[in-house]
Amino acid sequence: MSLLDRLLPVWIAVAVAVGVTLSKVSPSLKTDLARWEFADVSLPIGIGLIWMMYPILAKVRYGSMLGFAARPKLMGTSLILNWIIGPTLMFALAWAMLPDHPEYRSGLILVGLARCIAMVLVWNMLARGSEELAALLVALNSIFQIVFYSVLGYLFLTVIPGWLGETETTVDISMWLIARNVLLFLGAPLLAGALTRFVLVRRRGADWYDNVFAPRIGPIALIGLLYTIVVMFISQGDRIVDSPADVARVAAPLASYFIIMFSVAFVITRQLGFSYENTTAVSFTAAGNNFELAIAVAIGVFGISSGEAFATVVGPLIEVPMLIGLVYLSLWWGRSLFGREPNPESP
């Protein structure tokens, strides 16, 4: 890993400290940021997510994605992990660890249903996973998200709690809200990245693009990640600092989820004989969550001051340090289980 990558935990800690400090020193800054919205989407956060995703998607060799799409075992494994095991695990952890907080429990279930389409590309890149496979799985998750998120939300928040004797939660999740989220946070950087590769490869050649241009834009993704973290903590840092006990309650099932989900995905894909690069891409896409969608749904359905919205806000603040830890765990497993240094160029 480069010096910038190796010191990323330090930069993340600094970004968190800057965001929290700004939220406490200048409370009006949070209000100012909240004014910058388009169709109920935070533009400052949206800009950060597109910023960090664009260079990764510009590096993807889109022709290679067709080879992965023709491997049903690989695609099927990812879909089962994302849409059956992941939501079920989050549901079980939320009910087991938050029996006295149904509002936090519902918020975490919304997080578990929202499969990752953004930051996972950064974590996968840092862990030397296959960027082509990760991009394909993210696109696949996006399609399934539009089609199944509302259905699964009704199932896990209304039907199954009724079977368990709990008061049912009425949910009305707009399919347009989900589609809009996907178009903004995946569609825009995907289109920009694909166009960049197409235009520059035609002008300068694939060798120049992959060996000169792509390495130069790589650090932009990490800068975008740090910017996004600062904005998130400006927006929610005061609430996090003022409610440490509630944060700890929500953080416990979240941390358990990330560790268990990543480990289960890594073991399963390793046992199925996939390479380190493919195993890593599948594992990070299975462990990560689309917190932007979960927050938007929680606010839209339950209100901005609800416990459900609070739980979804805690999600990315726990996910960031947890998944950067999983990056180092993945690299260690790559050396110990696969017997070689991870190489993103491997098939």
Closest to 284 measured CA to CA, from 137, 144, 123, 140: 123
pLDDT of residue 225: 79
Confidence band of 60 (pLDDT split at 50, 70, 90): confident
Half-sphere exposure of 83 (CA within 13 A, CB side): 21
Instruction: Please determine, for residue 345, whether its predicted confidence score (pLDDT) is greater than 70.
Output: no
- Quickly list H helices, 243-306: 244-271, 276-287, 291-302
**Per-residue pLDDT for 144 more than 60?**
yes
Say yes or no: domain 41-334 is CATH 1.10.8.60: no
| Residue carrying the six token digits 């079920």 | 88
Reported as a single tens digit per residue, the pLDDT across 235-276 is 766 767 777 888 899 999 999 999 999 999 999 999 999 999
Question: Is the confidence at residue 109, as pLDDT, over 90?
Answer: yes
Residue 167: the pLDDT is 66
Which tokens belong to 277? Answer: 């690069």
Report pLDDT for 92: 96
The structural domains of the chain, with segments of one domain joined by +, span 41-334
Q: In the prediction, which pLDDT does 339 show?
A: 73
Q: In the predicted model, what is the mean pLDDT of the chain?
A: 83
Q: What is the pLDDT of residue 281?
A: 94
Residue 91 has a pLDDT of 95
Tell me the C-alpha distance between 185 and 133, whole Å: 18
Share of the chain above pLDDT 70, in %: 86
pLDDT tens-place string over residues 317-327:
788 889 889 99
pLDDT band at 346 (very low <50, low <70, confident <90, very high): very low
pLDDT exceeds 90 at position 305: no
Percentage of the chain with pLDDT > 90? 27
How high is the pLDDT of residue 81?
A: 96
Q: With the C-alpha atoms ordered 225, 227, 232, 237, is the resulting torsion angle positive or negative?
A: positive
Residue 267: the pLDDT is: 94
Token duo for residue 164? 């368990």
Helices (H), the chain: 3-6, 8-25, 27-35, 43-59, 62-69, 72-80, 86-97, 102-113, 120-126, 131-154, 160-163, 175-182, 188-204, 206-208, 214-242, 244-271, 276-287, 291-302, 307-338
Q: Bigger pLDDT: 174 or 329?
A: 329
Mean pLDDT of 144-154: 83
Minimal CA–CA distance to 40: which of 239, 231, 177?
177
pTM as predicted: 0.79
Task: Write the CA distances from 274 to 71, 125, 260, 285, 346, integer angstroms.
Answer: 11, 18, 19, 15, 11
Those residues with Cβ within 8 angstroms of residue 131's Cβ, 6 or more apart along the chain or in another chain:
56, 59, 60, 121, 124, 125, 281, 344
